[in-house]
Amino acid sequence: MTKAIVPGTYDPITVGHLDVIERASRIFDEVVVAVAESLEKNGQGTLFNVQERVELISTATKRFDTVSVKSFDNLLVTFARDENATVLVKGLRAITDFESEFQMAALNWKLASSVETLFIMASPDNMFLSSSAVKEIARHGGSVTGLVPEGVEKALRDKFR
């Protein structure tokens, strides 16, 4: 049985994230969505705390029998080893994603060569989508319908009231 980790901050989870998670669940026997507890991303704190993010993701992924959701606050490769996972799955939207993900994959390989990184390209419908863009749209009262799961849409409205 092959277990994969799909890591991210997921602040918040988008339909693009769900697409990568679903596709990974068709490839691997078990998938753990690993939610980074990090309070900083791009110099900013997260909109949703880690418990909220885990809850939103758990609700959004409940239809996938082989997917679980856990938070982590250590090195990703340490988390992967603790979970007995041998693959890290990363979604890529554009060449800019590739540059940073390629660097992280090389560092992770240096730290734990037994953990492989697999890149899954975003589907064309989701190549433009990011959590940052979703938050910006919601912050300014725009509709995020179709960009995020229904529960996340409600959570964003509640945050920006």
Catalogue the active-site residues.
Answer: 17, 41, 93, 131
DSSP track, 52-119? HHHHHHHHHHTT-TTEEEEEE-S-HHHHHHHTT--EEEEEE-SHHHHHHHHHHHHHHHHH-TTSEEEE
Q: H or E stretch including 23?
A: helix 15-27
CA distance 58 to 51: 10
